[in-house]
Chains A and B, each alone.
Chain A
Amino acid sequence: EAGVAQSPRYKIIEKRQSVAFWCNPISGHATLYWYQQILGQGPKLLIQFQNNGVVDDSQLPKDRFSAERLKGVDSTLKIQPAKLEDSAVYLCASSRSGVENEQFFGPGTRLTVL
Chain B
Amino acid sequence: RKEVEQDPGPFNVPEGATVAFNCTYSNSASQSFFWYRQDCRKEPKLLMSVYSSGNEDGRFTAQLNRASQYISLLIRDSKLSDSATYLCVVSGTGRRALTFGSGTRLQVQP
Contact = CB atoms under 8 A, between A and B. Distances in A.
Given A41-B102, A42-B103, A101 B43 contact: no
Contacts, number: 53
A43 interface: yes
Given A42-B101, A43-B100, A55 B95 contact: yes
**Dominant secondary structure of chain A at its interface with chain B:** loop
A45 B98 contact: yes
A106 B97 CA distance: 17
Give the most central of A44, A102, A105, A108: most B CB within 10 Å.
A105
B43 A103 contact: no
B43 A107 contact: yes
Interface string A76-112: 0000000000000001000100001111011110000
Interface residues of A, number: 22
A101 B102 contact: no
B42 interface: yes
B87 interface: yes
B1 interface: no
Given A40-B8, A105-B44, A48 B96 contact: yes
A33 interface: yes
A95 B91 CA distance: 14
A103 B43 CA distance: 11
Given A101-B32, A102-B46, A45 B87 contact: no
Given A43-B87, A43-B100, A58-B95, 19 more contacts: A40-B102, A41-B102, A41-B103, A42-B89, A42-B100, A43-B44, A48-B95, A48-B97, A91-B44, A100-B97, A100-B98, A101-B32, A101-B34, A101-B49, A103-B46, A103-B97, A105-B43, A106-B43, A108-B43
Interface of B: 4, 8, 32, 34, 42-46, 49, 87, 89, 91, 95-103
